[in-house]
């Protein structure tokens, strides 16, 4: 499991005085940094090789401004050219949001997906967790 | 169908020089304004009665900085206390992103969902479109 | 004067139920698009030639979710290699925010500012407005 | 001095492959949390008593995706009903951005500024730094 602690900022809260739903995609993106590093150790955009095909979020409980949030991330599936990241947001002992991201190993020049190399595949599996459904 | 034209701003583009995935939740949120108005004609947060249970996005094509984007929105399903908004982002004649939002008619004081009143239900159905799947 | 109408989205409002201060930099950035077009007619990042040196914002009145906002933009000064954009945000007949942006004509490859060409200079002056102070 | 370490996320970078200018207001806002806590120890929006009158940013050096950023914050001036927060963003040993925020002790119900109480004033002065200019 990859864990990242995030402190909400004032503007993350909306008129309902809870964390706005659209903040979650940003927090989950940030928490995927270590996974992006596996494929792009030097973080160079010129040779970047990942693209997102899908993201989803289930909002289970409301989150608030006054407490830190922990984002937990796992790799839930590794296919031929894509993999699934499963993530959860926890605040004050409560599971508040869960979501999945489908990431594709992508050749931006030729605009097509490519097979995930074995080395990256092995690194991904270090964070594997099987999902129930 | 509800249609909204959105002009990308400089910072909507990321290091891959395409529109960042996390911009889409914001554009889709903005395009749901007319639907929020059905339930909250005066836009008062004190009596706000909608909460999101789920959002998802399928990224079909990349979008870029140099052209306006059209967000098209429909109501795809109306249940007892929740409904589904289906949305698409189009740029230059290409369908680039599609996604669904599950919106719940919610009593924030008692923290429970409530039945969608008939008047709001009828207004929602004006924007109905059946989804294939 | 350049004018742009912006519709606030739900998440632009913070826990104080007014438009969050950090939304303004985004709206002002969007409203500078026509000025960016003067220097980069095809909007290509590979040859982009502008960089920001300074931004500031004076918050005069609070803004809210329920009404559109007009951003008005002028060019307030044109120097050798930089110029100043002055902008105002209006809502419901009230001047709510004003701010300045210092934009530099910049050679990203050699990391140094360059003289603004006469053609661009003339185009900027079409939107000129002298500031009192 | 108050110090906060921030990890850039993928979307913080724009088409120029540096941190977008509009990310800085968000980072500086987050780094002001401890100062907001002085006035609002329980972080309740119902009794919130601070409003921003001004923010500005000087962009000295470009920042990039691949390294953490440190935000350093000081209180630069304390007036009757307002105070100035001075902040700097550092990356890789380089001072990249500096800026000031004018925060007003504000009575939202009566929409007028109020005198900063002595207790809060003393707490602010713990982070005082005199600015050269």
What is the CB neighbour count within 10 angstroms for residue D85? 23
What is the CB neighbour count within 10 angstroms for residue A29? 23
Comparing CB atoms, the residue among A11, A15, A21 nearest residue C22 is A11
Give the torsion sign (CA, B66, D60, D104, D124): positive
Contact B38, B84 (CB under 8 A): no
pLDDT > 90: percent of chain C: 98
A50-72 b/e (C-beta count within 10 Å ≥ 16 → b): bbbbbbbbbbeebbbbeeebbbb
Tokens of B97: 């992103």
Cβ neighbours of C29 in B, within 8 Å: 9-11
Q: Measuring CA to CA, how many Å separate C69 from each of C8, C79, C100, D59?
A: 7, 30, 18, 27
Comparing CB atoms, the residue among B10, B30, B45 nearest residue C7 is B30
pLDDT of the residue at C87: 98
The residue of chain C nearest to residue D30, with distances taken between CA atoms, is C22
Contact A127, A74 (CB under 8 A): yes
State whether B33 and C10 contact (CB < 8 Å): yes
The residue of chain A nearest to residue C17, with distances taken between CA atoms, is A15
What is the CB neighbour count within 10 angstroms for residue D22? 23
State whether D59 and C48 contact (CB < 8 Å): no
State whether C16 and D58 contact (CB < 8 Å): no
The residue of chain D nearest to residue C102, with distances taken between CA atoms, is D58
Contact D40, D83 (CB under 8 A): no
Cβ neighbours of A57 in B, within 8 Å: 54-56
What is the CB neighbour count within 10 angstroms for residue C82? 19
Cβ neighbours of D59 in B, within 8 Å: none
Question: How many helices (H) and strands (E) in chain A?
Answer: 3, 6
Reported confidence tier of residue B133, pLDDT bands at 50, 70, 90: low
Reported confidence tier of residue B132, pLDDT bands at 50, 70, 90: confident
Element (H, E) at B35: helix B33-39
How far apart CA A82 and CA A50 sit, in angstroms, is 9
Q: Measuring CA to CA, how many Å separate A35 from each of A3, A105, A123, A133, B18?
A: 12, 12, 9, 23, 21
Give the torsion sign (CA, A124, A127, A128, A132): negative
Instruction: Flag whether the pTM goes above 0.90.
Output: yes
State whether D10 and B11 contact (CB < 8 Å): no
Looking at residue A30, the DSSP 8-state letter turns out to be: H
State whether B65 and C43 contact (CB < 8 Å): yes
The residue of chain B nearest to residue C18, with distances taken between CA atoms, is B45
CA triplet D116, D122, D128: central angle to 5 degrees? Answer: 100
Beta strands in B38-80 (DSSP E): 50-59, 69-78
How far apart CA C123 and CA B55 sit, in angstroms, is 44
Tokens of C96: 């709510």
Cβ neighbours of A32 in D, within 8 Å: 10
Comparing CB atoms, the residue among A11, A15, A20 nearest residue C65 is A15
State whether B16 and A52 contact (CB < 8 Å): no
C residues 28-87 near D, CB within 8 Å?
29, 45, 48, 51-59, 62
Contact D25, D57 (CB under 8 A): yes
Cβ neighbours of C36 in B, within 8 Å: 10
For the cut 80, the answer to whether the pLDDT of residue B27 exceeds it is yes
Mean pLDDT over all residues of chain B?
Answer: 97
B13 shares contact with chain A (CB less than 8 Å)? no
Reported confidence tier of residue C107, pLDDT bands at 50, 70, 90: very high
3-state secondary structure A1-29: CEEEEECCCHHHECCCCCECCCHHHHHHH
Cβ neighbours of D59 in C, within 8 Å: 51-54
Question: pLDDT digits over B63-108, tens only?
Answer: 999 999 999 999 999 999 999 999 999 999 999 999 999 999 999 9
Cβ neighbours of C45 in B, within 8 Å: 13, 17, 65
Cβ neighbours of C30 in B, within 8 Å: 7, 9-10
Which stretches within chain C are classed as H helix?
Answer: 23-31, 33-39, 118-125
ipTM of the complex: 0.96
How far apart CA A44 and CA C6 sit, in angstroms, is 35
Q: Measuring CA to CA, how many Å separate B16 from each of A47, A60, B94?
A: 10, 32, 19
The residue of chain B nearest to residue C33, with distances taken between CA atoms, is B9
Instruction: Mutation target for D interface from B15, B21, B24, B63: give the one with most D CBs within 10 A.
Output: B15
The residue of chain A nearest to residue B27, with distances taken between CA atoms, is A22
Q: What is the mean pLDDT of residues B120-129?
A: 97
Task: Name the phi and psi angles at A129, rounded to 5.
Answer: -150, 130
Dihedral of CA atoms B58, A130, B104, B77 in degrees, nearest 10, equals 50
Low-confidence ranges of chain A (pLDDT < 50): none
How far apart CA D52 and CA D29 sit, in angstroms, is 11
Tokens of A31: 């928490």
How far apart CA A105 and CA A50 sit, in angstroms, is 5
State whether A9 and D17 contact (CB < 8 Å): no
Reported confidence tier of residue C133, pLDDT bands at 50, 70, 90: low
Place of tokens 């987050």: D30
pLDDT of the residue at B125: 97
User: Which chains have 3+ CB pairs within 8 A of A?
Assistant: B, C, D
* Residuewise pLDDT in 10s, chain D (133 residues): 999 999 999 999 999 999 999 999 999 999 999 999 999 999 999 999 999 999 999 999 999 999 999 999 999 999 999 999 999 999 999 999 999 999 999 999 999 999 999 999 999 999 999 998 6
State whether C11 and A17 contact (CB < 8 Å): no
State whether A53 and B45 contact (CB < 8 Å): no
Question: pLDDT digits over C1-41, tens only?
Answer: 999 999 999 999 999 999 999 999 999 999 999 999 999 99
pLDDT of the residue at A101: 98
Cβ burial, residue A1 (10 Å; 0-12/13-18/19+): exposed
How far apart CA D105 and CA D49 sit, in angstroms, is 6
How far apart CA D13 and CA D21 sit, in angstroms, is 9
Provide the shortest C-alpha distance from residue B29 to chain C (in Å): 7
State whether C10 and A23 contact (CB < 8 Å): no
Task: Name the phi and psi angles at B122, rounded to 5.
Answer: -65, -40
**Terminal C-alpha separation, chain A:** 19
pLDDT of the residue at D7: 98
Provide the shortest C-alpha distance from residue C93 to chain D (in Å): 19
Element (H, E) at A82: strand A82-91
């Amino acid at each position: 499991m990859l864990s990242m602690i995030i402190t909400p900022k004032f503007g993350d809260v909306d008129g309902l005085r809870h964390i706005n739903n659209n903040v979650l995609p940003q927090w989950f993106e940030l928490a995927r940094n270590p996974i992006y590093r596996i494929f792009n150790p030097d973080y160079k955009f010129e040779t970047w090789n990942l693209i997102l095909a899908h993201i989803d979020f289930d909002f289970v409980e409301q989150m608030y401004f006054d407490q830190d949030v922990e984002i937990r991330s796992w790799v839930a599936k590794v296919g031929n050219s894509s993999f699934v990241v499963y993530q959860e947001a926890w605040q004050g002992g409560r599971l508040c949001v869960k979501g999945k991201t489908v990431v594709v190993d992508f050749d931006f020049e030729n605009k097509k997906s490519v097979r995930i190399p074995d080395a990256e595949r092995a690194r991904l599996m270090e964070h594997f967790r099987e999902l129930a459904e």
